[in-house]
Structure 1
């Protein structure tokens, strides 16, 4: 088709297929176009029925317009209602998830220490306390995070032995055998 940028390509309501400068193919409906800023808004079909994705592109980022077809009937330009409560709950869940993921990242620890933590958290409740890994609120694994650095009360000996075993296997998987007990 013609080089990108022809204003007829960006007519609101056109069904468009384009290729970005990064080689990504984009298919959808031209929802809006602003010539002074060279921005086009494409409404793409979402993953579920009745759901759409909105993509804002700078037309200079378009390598090629593969097709741009004018619709048989004018496009319905009414915007869908936005459920603000649903948006607020979605934001709240996303923030909670981000906080949870953030808490799983140790501050000032090595990549190996983080990898060991990540392996332990898959099988047992695990948190960071400063630079110590705490498993099941009872077993502490201190630097350099070897089985020898596991400590707990005597009543949690079985849990400590389980943590030592998982720790030893993970250190082997990471190729950290030289400092492993």
Structure 2
């Protein structure tokens, strides 16, 4: 049978922090929080609330200092005991996700030029959307064959004679991107 406690003040709020209770409370900042008590640490006075996520099967954990609770609006004990077991964590899946995130971060950081102007970075960002580019110091290297040097105008595109068609394509894209960026 479910029981409810309404409008408890902060002094008697600790009795509401039983793991598994569904609670609704207001913080000192006036924010209303609702969820299930996931954990309560009396020594540190920390409350962990499990809130529903943006879609089914996803939850958010919110950690709140219990003395930041202004008012407990309601506290309901569950009709069936709270499952204290933690879900299985697929370590291989976590490792792959971490590896993918690191690769993505490395790729993104390699696309940031060191010591270049905002305009140079904007030109690079525009070029990399249409062609593979990398920074080599302050030079943009396109398709491993065309080099665009400061001030990153079509006249500053260099390549060997074997890649003249690629150079002309890069010049055209560079000219259009500079116009689009207002440079």
User: Alpha-carbon deviation of 1:99?
Assistant: 0.8
Aligned to 1:71: 78
Q: Which runs of 5+ in 2 are unaligned?
A: 1-6
User: Alpha-carbon deviation of 1:34?
Assistant: 1.1
Aligned to 1:44: 51
- Secondary structure in 2 matching 1:133: strand
| Cα distance in 1, alignment partners of residues 152 and 67 from structure 2 | 51
| Cα distance in 2, alignment partners of residues 127 and 70 from structure 1 | 59
| Cα distance in 1, alignment partners of residues 135 and 17 from structure 2 | 52
90, 99, 102: which one aligns with 1:95: 102
TM-score by length of 1: 0.80
111, 117, 128: which one aligns with 1:121: 128
- Secondary structure in 2 matching 1:12: coil
Matches within 5 A, 1:155-174: 155-174=162-181
Aligned to 2:153: 146
User: Alpha-carbon deviation of 1:60?
Assistant: 5.4
Q: Which has the higher contact order (CA 8 A, sep 6+)?
A: 2
Q: Which runs of 5+ in 1 are unaligned?
A: 177-181
Aligned to 1:131: 138
